[in-house]
Amino acid sequence: MKQILITCMLFAVCLQAAGQEQRTPGTGEPHDKSVLFLQWERVEEAKGYKVQIVDKNNREVLDKITDTESINFRLPNGNYKFRVGVLNVFSKVELWTEWSTLTVKNPVRPEFESLSITQGYRGMEIQDIQLQGKNIQKEGKIFLTKDSAVLTPENLRRISENSITFNLNLRKTPPGEYNLILENPGGARIVSRNIFTVVDPQPPVFESMLGRAGNIGSKVEDIIVKGDNFKKGAKVFLKNNQQRIQGENIIYESKEIIRFDVNLLGKEEGKYDLVIENPDTLRLIQAGIFTVNPTLRHVLKNAVRNKYPECNWKIRVDSGYQTIRSKLKTYFNDSSFNFNAAFGSGFSNINFLKDIPVITNSGCEAELMHSVFEGKTFALISESTLTVTSAGLNLYYSPKINFAIRPVFRIGGGLSRSVIHVKTSSGSHETQSRDPYYKAGISLEYRFTHSWFCEGGIDYMVIQYLDEQFESLRYFLGIGYMF
């Protein structure tokens, strides 16, 4: 007779634990009624088969005859050996297979004890839900079900052998009651029915508010808001387009009443919206319900106060009157045509300098300046001009003061290109020179909007020209933009 070819499939499915409810927990011990399934290939002319299984002590635990190519049986955990014999027409074993090893490891059913959070609002994410139980194996699964909806926990963390922490994302979860299912490897599971509930959140509702105004610099205490659907842990604050005033000493009295204080020190005058935000992120916004009033002191102070925030970048242009000294004064008049353009940034853009007060009030700017000096008329010279174009860098310092007008100090230098053009009766002549220049100056800056400012001041410049140099005082007015 042909040699028997054996294939074995082992299934450990716990019939008692599957589908049972949490209120009838098991012992937690390994189950001895797991279904084991042994199957082999058909042998031609065989009239039946005989299966024998012995334990590790070679004691027979199963001796069974079957007319099919498979058997079902149950065994406790342990190591076994089995063989299959082929029966002939006389129901005698004609051929045995070799003994093969068989290891039985039945699954352990988990047990559920408690869940730290049993309700959540649809659309929110719940962090750090703690599950307590027993026999929760490392590779086990945890999920919640309701009809066809399956909710899978995220970021599972095993705190101890019997404790697991996880998150639940309820953003797209249908509302209703969910069953909690714990399933260990091998299929042993427990179903705890209606353990977790997902509900539709209700936003807070405003009815009235006691305490609707306060003066700048004061503290308004015991503001009472009446409404509905307030939740413990709600955030309360006032806000407008410029500022946010955080509520302090928030007291949750009931779902209908919340009390809080606000500190108006350093706040701006104007109308503020009331915002109450529940832990489920649903909020109410009552527009313009609270007023911050200025005191007389603040009214007078704001008349001259620079109340705009600092900006990192600025660009400015200016024009003015420039004098000329030294020997060139003999040949050229003072200039009424000159302009300057500069673009720069405060050092507050550099992170490691932000904590140095003097540095954060300083900055660097690149500038381009152009001046034209008309020449004086002599007997042989009918026309002459001196054109100076300079490009360089300035360092500036502008102290932060609580005033609309503040001084700006500058020092800098760069390279200038000087061109002298002379026209006589016999022709034209031009000389050029590229030489360094140095400058220092002071100006007053007035910031009249959030971004725009005007500036007026004086610069002292020394411009090298060939082997000589000439000095210049420049008086200017300009306008700039901050961002």
Q: What is the CATH number of the domain that holds 241?
A: 2.60.40.10
Compute how many other C-beta atoms are within 10 angstroms of the C-beta atom of residue 470: 20
Question: In the listed set 243, 263, 293, which residue is the last one of a domain according to the structure?
Answer: 293
Domain of 247?
Answer: 205-293
What are the residues whose beta carbons fall under 8 Å from the beta carbon of 11, sequence distance 6 or more?
34, 35, 36, 37
- Which residues of the chain fall below pLDDT 70? 1-34, 298-311, 327-330, 336, 347-361, 377-382, 402
SS3 314: strand
Place of tokens 């499915």: 13
Cα distance between residue 294 and residue 215, in whole Å = 6
pTM over cut 0.85: no
Please indicate, yes or no, if residue 306 is contained in any of the structural domains: no
* Helix H or strand E encompassing 302: helix 296-304
The answer on 179 and 133 residing in a single domain is: yes
CA 470 to chain centre: 58
pLDDT in tens, 332-364: 777 767 888 888 877 655 544 455 555 556 888
Please indicate, yes or no, if residue 96 is contained in any of the structural domains: yes
The answer on 194 and 143 residing in a single domain is: yes
The answer on 429 and 364 residing in a single domain is: yes
> Is residue 180 a contact partner of residue 132, using CB atoms and an 8 Å limit?
no
The pLDDT of residue 34 is 63
C-alpha pair distances (Å), 231 with each of 127, 129, 180, 205, 482: 18, 19, 26, 11, 44
pLDDT in tens, 433-446: 888 999 999 999 88
The answer on 359 and 343 residing in a single domain is: yes
Cα distance between residue 430 and residue 421, in whole Å = 4
Place of tokens 């009766």: 425
The pLDDT of residue 23 is 36
SS3 152: coil
The answer on 411 and 323 residing in a single domain is: yes
The answer on 456 and 333 residing in a single domain is: yes
- Taking all residues of the chain, what is their mean pLDDT, rounded to a whole number? 82
Label residue 284 exposed, middle or buried (CB < 10 Å: 0-12, 13-18, 19+): buried
Place of tokens 């000493």: 249
Please indicate, yes or no, if residue 137 is contained in any of the structural domains: yes
Question: In the listed set 104, 120, 151, which residue is the last one of a domain according to the structure?
Answer: 104
pLDDT in tens, 225-284: 999 999 888 999 999 988 999 999 999 999 899 999 999 998 888 899 999 998 877 889
Per-residue tokens: 240: 């407008």
Question: In the listed set 265, 293, 321, which residue is the last one of a domain according to the structure?
Answer: 293
The answer on 239 and 174 residing in a single domain is: no
The pLDDT of residue 301 is 58
> Is residue 151 a contact partner of residue 122, using CB atoms and an 8 Å limit?
no
Domain tally, the chain: 4
SS3 477: strand
The answer on 53 and 178 residing in a single domain is: no
The answer on 359 and 238 residing in a single domain is: no
Three-state SS annotation for 249-297: EEEEEECCEEEEEEECCCCCCEEEEEEEECCCCCEEEEEEEEEEECCHH
Cα distance between residue 360 and residue 60, in whole Å = 90
SS3 78: strand
The answer on 446 and 405 residing in a single domain is: yes
What are the residues whose beta carbons fall under 8 Å from the beta carbon of 175, sequence distance 6 or more?
122, 198, 199, 200
